[in-house]
């Protein structure tokens, strides 16, 4: 991968991907509409002089195709990140995830790019009954977000069969770490900054999920790209550990030096409609490639909280 195109490259995970590619000597084009991404996330990558930025939307096929020409690989990390939003506006996930992925594939076909790395999600498993959940598990879809990501995976496989595009699709658990801009740790920090005595928590607090530190996740992606085999590959990226929501809340409060915080639950076994109470993925395929998460979940959470507290602009939205 000598010249790489990264959609969503100014975002949380995308910017870490850009850092890694630039450090390894690739020429990188960041394609981002900056609805969630931030220029400051690209500061170190831009300093290498191997990175350029094109401001644009993935739904704008003409602009994206023109920007993509000459690239041999694409990392598609632009997406709607609000898993909960599908009940309010059912079009968002269709447009920002499924249709956007189709536009990326069409741009690749026109630009003759033959390698695609896709950010999918553990949400494609719905509410699984098997833990740790393996890649071959076929769950009933419980959210428009999950359905949109699964549809994207299927479309990528079809384009691979039609046009010889080689792909790696990664089903992520929640990622944490520096440049983190949304999710449970982010929400807890914002709430506790407003009220350090009471923390509202969705659900019953017994939801149990896995979290992956961003640098471990990026290392896993590149491990699979260099060692995996096959035209259309799918990998879970998760952690062997998992953590309950109440435990996570106490760690956040502790790192913020807040004591005696009272947790107030909203009730129910899940945080929102479509939320799976348990997320724990099998990483057998990644283990076979010699990868496993090295950063304990608690360590990753504490690093995330410190980053958010030290970076006011990250909490600005």
Residues 6+ apart with CB under 8 A from 299: 213
Q: pLDDT of 179-215, one tens digit each?
A: 999 999 999 999 999 999 999 999 999 999 999 999 9
Question: Is 0.95 topped by the overall pTM?
Answer: yes
H or E, element range at 119: strand 115-121
Average pLDDT over residues 14-18: 98
Q: How far is CA 24 from CA 12, 48, 50, 224, in A?
A: 19, 11, 10, 16
> What pLDDT, on the 0 to 100 scale, is given for residue 85?
75
Pairing of the two strands 278-279 and 262-265: unpaired
pLDDT of residue 87: 80
C-alpha span between 108 and 74 (Å, rounded)? 8
The reported pLDDT for the residue numbered 232 is: 98
Residues 115-158 pLDDT 10s: 999 999 999 999 999 999 999 999 999 999 999 999 999 999 99
Residue 15 binned pLDDT confidence (cut-offs 50, 70, 90): very high
Average pLDDT over residues 3-19: 98
Q: What is the mean pLDDT of the chain?
A: 96
- CA dist 301 and 296 (Å) reads 9
Q: Please report the domains of the chain, with CATH numbers, ordered by start residue.
A: 3-175+211-237 (3.40.50.720), 181-209+242-279+295-315 (3.90.25.10)
Per-residue model confidence (pLDDT) at position 107: 98
Contact indicator for 157, 102 with CB cutoff of 8 Å: no
Averaged pLDDT, 9-32: 98
Beta strands at 208-209 and 243-244: parallel, antiparallel or unpaired? antiparallel
Q: Which of 31, 125, 137, 145 is the catalytic position?
A: 145
Is pLDDT at 315 greater than 70 in this prediction? yes
Distance of CA 60 to the CA centre of its chain: 22
Question: Confidence band (pLDDT; 50, 70, 90) for 282?
Answer: very high
**pLDDT above 90: percentage of residues in the chain:** 92
Res 317 pLDDT > 70? no
For 226-241, the pLDDT digits (tens) are 999 999 999 999 999 9
111 with 69: CB under 8 angstroms? yes
Tell me the C-alpha to C-alpha distance, in Å, between residue 243 and each of 163, 231, 278: 42, 35, 10
Q: Per residue in 36-55, pLDDT tens?
A: 999 999 999 999 999 999 99
pLDDT in tens, 63-98: 999 999 999 999 999 999 888 877 889 999 999 999
Distances (CA, A) of 130 to 108, 145, 286: 36, 21, 18
Instruction: Inform me whether the pLDDT recorded for 279 exceeds 70.
Output: yes
Q: 3 is written with which tokens?
A: 């010249």
Q: Which of 143, 110, 152, 102 is nearest to 125 (CA)?
A: 143
pLDDT for res 148: 97
Task: Provide mean pLDDT across the span 287-306.
Answer: 98
Average of pLDDT values for 269-283?
Answer: 94
Based on the residue annotation, tell me whether 145 is a catalytic residue of this protein: yes
Rounded CA separation 174/183 (Å): 8
**pLDDT category of residue 245 using cuts at 50, 70 and 90:** very high
């Amino acid at each position: 991968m000598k010249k790489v195109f990264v959609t969503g490259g100014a975002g949380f995970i995308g910017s870490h991907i850009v850092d890694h590619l630039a450090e390894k000597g690739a020429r990188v084009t960041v394609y981002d509409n900056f609805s969630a991404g931030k220029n400051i996330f690209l500061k170190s990558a831009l300093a290498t002089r191997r990175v350029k930025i094109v401001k644009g939307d993935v739904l704008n096929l003409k602009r994206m195709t023109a920007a993509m020409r000459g690239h041999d690989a694409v990392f598609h990390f632009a997406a709607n990140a609000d898993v909960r939003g599908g009940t309010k506006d059912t079009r968002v996930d269709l447009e920002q995830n499924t249709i956007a992925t189709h536009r990326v594939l069409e741009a690749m076909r026109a630009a003759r790019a033959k390698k695609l790395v896709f950010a999918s999600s553990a949400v494609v498993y719905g509410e699984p009954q098997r833990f740790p959940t393996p890649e071959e598990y076929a769950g009933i879809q419980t959210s428009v977000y999950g359905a949109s990501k699964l549809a994207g995976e299927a479309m990528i496989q079809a384009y691979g069969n039609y046009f010889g595009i080689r792909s790696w699709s990664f089903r992520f658990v929640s990622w944490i770490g520096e440049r983190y801009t949304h999710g449970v740790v982010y929400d807890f920090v914002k709430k506790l900054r407003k009220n350090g005595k009471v923390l509202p928590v969705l659900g019953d607090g017994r939801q149990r999920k896995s979290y992956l530190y961003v640098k471990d996740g990026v290392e896993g992606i590149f491990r699979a790209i260099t060692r995996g085999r096959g035209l259309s590959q799918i990998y879970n990226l998760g952690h062997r550990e998992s953590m309950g929501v109440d435990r996570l809340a106490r760690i956040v409060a502790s790192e913020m030096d807040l004591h005696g915080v009272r947790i107030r639950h909203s009730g129910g076994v899940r945080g929102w409609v479509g939320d799976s109470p348990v997320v724990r993925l099998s990483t057998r395929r990644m283990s076979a490639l010699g990868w496993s998460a090295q950063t304990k979940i608690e360590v990753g959470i504490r690093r995330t909280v410190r980053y958010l507290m030290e970076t006011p602009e990250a909490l600005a939205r």
